[in-house]
Chains A and B, each alone.
Chain A
């Protein structure tokens, strides 16, 4: 039995239930506490070991897992104990009370205590936690930095726009059509840069936002956005087919509105040249069983070879002369979806339209 208990790798101690005297310890337990087995026999663990809770507070006698009142069966569970103050080892311990009848007919009550050394696991968990906190802090710094930069870029841009405007007004008779053409280019570039800065600020804002989960009717949201888009360009004959109501549980309605605006806005933009275009929003069963929502259009589409680039900030798959945009919209969608624990993916063919799918929760698959 000794060899079998030594091979377990876990510390095993047998105690007298009343006196707490050690009746047996195995080799792994002796190694764990840095003592000789023979030295531990007949002693009480609370006398020879410095036992503390995981937080470092000394363990009161009543808190010992083998202390009365004892119930039959397992107790103690997964308590962390520091065995020695100088070189703390953290152990998961499990105490099992049982009684049996000895050969001389006397009833014996004993406690088996199993000790599993989890010092290494704790060290790794702590290292992971510290690392995650560092990554988090770095990300926050980066967000704050990009926000400050984007924000500070607006002020000089306002001067460029304002004094360009002044130049056109104050020096009108000295500017010929070529000069005015240059000013038009400057103005257009300023507008584009202002848009990029605003998109960057939005991306940063979305990244920093705390998720506030609730119920969001994505169908109703989509309907409102579609109406707004249609009202903005009354001449277009683009149709919407929207599944409503379509309620998503655990979704942040504010963030989802931003995501839906970007997805439907994209569909609207890339169906611009197509008479009788159709934009759809709905849901189907996703790969992991949870709902996968989709926004589908039959517009310009994209080359599937570049699918990976769609969600990277500033990556554009269309020429600036063809379709406007900063290339940030889909990055915003991706951050919002990932904040919810879901993912976003896309399918498309040039000239055959595009479909964007997203889920709002982790899939088991």
Chain B
């Protein structure tokens, strides 16, 4: 399982709301992000994708906290407890600012927590900053 070059690294978007999926994809397209985006529509799909045999590990995971079937916090816990995915940066991307969600997310090892802005221009700017920061500025740990 090797990691592709970082500017081609996959972004995994875990999001159940189709409007949010489309708007997030649009934001990445508008900011001319070179990274392919893969969408998982719920927590179970995200886990199935991440832990499939020979799966390409994403360079960044954008995770909604409130998901059907397996919720985002459980997905986060699974990501952090498996050696294959332990170090992948995970950004909680959610509309909740509820304190208990924030605390649980950080306790489970989320790297960042973003409350989706209502205004699309602000949202697109947030997506651009996010992918730039985690996929080019930030140095990931060396591959094990």
Interface residues of A (CB under 8 A from B): 147, 151, 154-155, 157-159, 161-166, 190-191, 194, 201
Contact = CB atoms under 8 A, between A and B. Distances in A.
B79 to A, nearest CB: 24
Given A159-B23, A166-B23, 19 more contacts: A151-B95, A151-B96, A154-B95, A154-B118, A155-B17, A155-B19, A155-B20, A155-B95, A158-B116, A158-B117, A159-B19, A162-B19, A162-B120, A162-B123, A163-B19, A163-B23, A165-B120, A166-B26, A191-B118
A161 B119 contact: yes
Judged by DSSP, the binding face of A is: helix
A147 B117 CA distance: 17
B137 interface: no
A162 B97 contact: no
Interface in B53-81: none
Nearest to A209: B99
A201 B116 CA distance: 15
A159 B19 CA distance: 6
B144 interface: no
Contacts of A154: 95, 116, 118
A154 B120 CA distance: 13
Contact of B23 (A157, A162, A190): A162
Contacts of B123: 158, 162
A162 B95 CA distance: 14
Nearest to A166: B26
Interface string B14-39: 00010110010010000000000000
B98 interface: yes
Nearest to A168: B120
B17 A161 contact: no
Given A165-B121, A194-B118, A194-B119, A158 B20 contact: yes
Contacts of A163: 19, 23
B95 A158 contact: yes
Contacts of B17: 155
Contacts of B19: 155, 158-159, 162-163
Contacts of A194: 118-119
Contacts of A159: 19-20, 23
A191 B119 contact: yes
A162 B121 CA distance: 8
Nearest to A170: B26
30 contacts: A147-B98, A151-B95, A151-B96, A151-B97, A151-B98, A154-B95, A154-B116, A154-B118, A155-B17, A155-B20, A158-B19, A158-B23, A158-B118, A158-B123, A159-B19, A159-B20, A159-B23, A161-B118, A161-B120, A162-B23, A162-B123, A163-B23, A164-B120, A165-B120, A165-B121, A166-B23, A166-B120, A191-B119, A194-B118, A194-B119
